[in-house]
Amino acid sequence: MKTLETEQLPEGSFQGAFGDPLKIPTDKPSVVFLGRSNSGKSSLLRSFFRNSSLVRTSSKPGSTITLNAYLYRSLYFIDTPGFGYAKRSRWERDVLSEMISLYLEQASTIKAGILTLDCLREPEEEESYIAELFRSHRSPLILALTKTDRLNQKELSAVRKRAAVYEEFYHAVIPLSSVKRSGLEYLLRFFGSLY
């Protein structure tokens, strides 16, 4: 896999943290980053900016409870709170998933979604639910299988085989590593097709 050089990447800017999804600006198309807590959403999002430190990551997993908006060229990238975090109370989890679904249902400016999943995990009910939401809105959803730097060659080829199986349900399935900066070109080209 090729690694992505940072010089060609744009500088981004933070546009705000929104507790109310209906307050997210809608003057530009957006790409939403979704996925379980700790699946690598924020790390992936930050790898597309030269000034990557602008992306807020929290050291406490699952503690982001706002939708964070960043300007990437003429698109908004929206980082969402992770779902399925077991240590959160049921109430909090329900509020979070409601906030995410409300945003998806209301925002007609959402152009695409990036769903992150640790490459060692398999998609479960939550992933299928998001895939279904995007299908019903006719918006492309890309499954990003993250953290492939943790795999040896044999494991990597097993992940690629699984990726081919999932392809039926997603616009694309991309194994990648934000740490190694590998596997990111497809997404970069995809973003380029949206603005």
Ligand X SMILES: Nc1nc2c(ncn2[C@@H]2O[C@H](COP(=O)(O)OP(=O)(O)O)[C@@H](O)[C@H]2O)c(=O)[nH]1
**End-to-end CA separation in angstroms for the chain:** 26
Residue 73 neighbours by CB under 8 Å, 6+ apart: 10, 191, 195
Residue 42 in contact with Mg ion, rule: CB under 5 A: yes
Give 15 or 156: the residue with its C-beta nearer to Mg ion. Answer: 15
Give 39 or 139: the residue with its C-beta nearer to ligand X. Answer: 39
Cα(46)–Cα(161) distance, rounded to whole angstroms? 27
CB of 158 to ligand X, least distance (A): 17
Residue 80 in contact with Mg ion, rule: CB under 5 A: no
Cα(83)–Cα(153) distance, rounded to whole angstroms? 30
**Where on the chain is the footprint of ligand X (CB under 6 A)?**
35, 37-43, 57, 82, 116, 146-147, 149-150, 177-179
CB of 79 to ligand X, least distance (A): 7
CB of 146 to ligand X, least distance (A): 5
Give 30 or 39: the residue with its C-beta nearer to ligand X. Answer: 39
Specify the residue for token string 């019903």. Answer: 136
Give 37 or 148: the residue with its C-beta nearer to Mg ion. Answer: 37
CB of 113 to ligand X, least distance (A): 14
Partner that binds at residue 185, options Mg ion, ligand X, none, CB closer than 5 to 8 Å by kind: none
Partner that binds at residue 118, options Mg ion, ligand X, none, CB closer than 5 to 8 Å by kind: none
Task: Count CA within 13 A, CB hemisphere, residue 123.
Answer: 23
- Helix pair 125-136, 90-106: axis angle to 10 deg: 20
Residue 115's identity, in one-letter code, is L
Partner that binds at residue 84, options Mg ion, ligand X, none, CB closer than 5 to 8 Å by kind: none
CB of 21 to Mg ion, least distance (A): 16
> Tokens standing for 41?
């959403």
> Tokens standing for 109?
């400016």
For residues 144 and 172, the answer to whether their CB atoms sit within 8 Å is no
Q: Which residues lie near Mg ion (CB under 5 A)?
A: 41-42
